[in-house]
Chain A
Amino acid sequence: DQQVKQNSPSLSVQEGRISILNCDYTNSMFDYFLWYKKYPAEGPTFLISISSIKDKNEDGRFTVFLNKSAKHLSLHIVPSQPGDSAVYFCAADTDKLIFGTGTRLQVFP
């Protein structure tokens, strides 16, 4: 049973526009979340995290929003760049990382 879900397997966005990647979770006890980016033939790279005491965390072009009542988080990338094309995983950090299945983002010129 997937405790962390990324329902969009892929997303295509034009360069310069906003990319919004979504993630839902089922366990209301989860209180810390991370986003990782993965290029082919490389391991996942940490991008940004958020604790449940906050509803937003920003780092440059990347912003993560957390809606605890909806058990939903989203990653916004503004503006999107071709180098952002990768697979993005959200994860809940409990006593281990519980990952979603990933969303493949393609940013085209």
Chain B
Amino acid sequence: KAGVTQTPRYLIKTRGQQVTLSCSPISGHRSVSWYQQTPGQGLQFLFEYFSETQRNKGNFPGRFSGRQFSNSRSEMNVSTLELGDSALYLCASSFQGSASQETQYFGPGTRLLVL
């Protein structure tokens, strides 16, 4: 079974631009969660999508948004990029989502650099 895939793996943008990242979950998984990893902050939860609906959201500004498609693939979008958005963005998939105490499987991440 193929694992979680994320595209692109690396991205360089400039301040003020917007960016879209993509995540394909493990086949059969319906929940996709997104996390931001920055040095010293660990992994911080952005949001979770389940069956095309946002089920949970972390404490990030509205510039961060996401969506999920009927095939469970998910995208996240960051608008008006700031230098502080430079981070590794990870997505994780599971069948029912973290509320079920089910293991989440992570993709390799997209490393975003904002100049």
Contacts and interface: CB of A to CB of B under 8 A. Distances in A.
Interface string B98-115: 110101111111000000
Contacts of A99: 35, 42-44
Most chain A CB within 10 A, of B35, B42, B90, is at: B42
Interface residues of A, number: 24
Contacts of A36: 106
Interface stretch (A12-20, A39-47, A61-69, A72-80): A39-47
A97 B99 contact: no
Interface residues of B, number: 24
20 contacts: A6-B42, A34-B103, A43-B90, A43-B108, A46-B104, A89-B42, A89-B43, A93-B98, A93-B101, A94-B98, A95-B99, A96-B48, A96-B98, A97-B35, A97-B92, A97-B98, A98-B45, A99-B35, A99-B42, A101-B42
